[in-house]
Amino acid sequence: MVIDGPFDVDQERRRVSLAPPDRALIENALSAVAAAVRVAAIRGDRGRQRLAQAAPPASADLGDLAWWKQALKKLAEKLARLPLVESTTGTWPAVKTADIDRFADFPLPRLDDASTVDEVPLMRVWALMAAFPDCDPPRREIAEDWCAIAAGWSALGVSVQQVSLRGCPEEKPLKICVVARATANEACAPNTQLT
């Protein structure tokens, strides 16, 4: 998807001025993104989840980064309320809404929520979450995309449910391997629990 508009740029054509008319054009274009994502979801377009990506801008060339972050946060909040995330139990929004009680849970490839770097393979956390009926992780084949999208939304300030290894449920004993040490094909010892 390409968003184009008659923006006022600086002489080097590297930066949008973000005068009020330019901001209005950008806000209208971002509103169109939300509608396009919804249509792609309804039609079942392949790779549709990638249209929902929104994250803080990485380049200062965009001008007022605080304004951009706020505009993208508004888009991410709108997208997060739509039932877009195809999970292991159904299609849910990324956040709790007034209409739908369930929402998606996104695996976070970290040992705990305090970690700042990915330390655990994403699919190991996903496997633990998928084993619990109360967790709604994205389907395995689209989990990596959705986890990257959730990370971008979270960086914008949207409160999505990201679950680290220690955040996985412990209420119900499962036959699982100690995930941080197990390989993907290793057999699980009966009644082994994550500690």
Quick one: pLDDT at residue 183? 34
The rounded mean pLDDT for the chain is: 81
Whether residue 60 contacts residue 14, with contact meaning beta carbons closer than 8 Å, is answered with no
Flag the least confident range among 44-48, 147-151, 182-186: 182-186
Residue 170 lies in a domain: no
pLDDT at position 36 over 50: yes
Question: For residue 156, what are the domain limits?
Answer: 20-163
Number of domains in the chain: 1
Question: Does 177 map to a domain?
Answer: no
Distance CA 10, CA 20 (A): 15
> What's the pLDDT score for residue 70?
94
Q: Would you say residue 1 has pLDDT above 60?
A: no
Note the pLDDT of residue 91. Answer: 93
Rounded Cα distance, 135 and 106, in Å: 9
Assigned domain for 194 exists = no
- Asked if residues 14 and 59 have their Cβ atoms less than 8 Å apart, the reply is no
More confident residue, 22 or 175: 22
pLDDT band at residue 4 under the 50/70/90 scheme = low
Distance CA 156, CA 133 (A): 29
66 in a domain, yes or no? yes
Is residue 24 situated within a structural domain? yes
Amino acid at the residue 7 = F
Tell me if 195 is assigned to some domain.
no
Rounded to two decimals, what is the model's pTM? Answer: 0.79
Helix, strand, or coil here: 64? Answer: coil
**Angle subtended at Cα 39 by Cα 37 and Cα 43, rounded to the nearest 5 degrees:** 115
Q: Is residue 183 part of a domain?
A: no
The helix/strand/coil state of 91 is strand
Distance CA(163)–CA(32), nearest Å, equals 31
Q: Is residue 77 part of a domain?
A: yes
Asked if residues 86 and 139 have their Cβ atoms less than 8 Å apart, the reply is yes
Q: Which residues contact 147 (CB under 8 A, 6 or more apart)?
A: 106, 107, 108, 109, 122, 138, 162
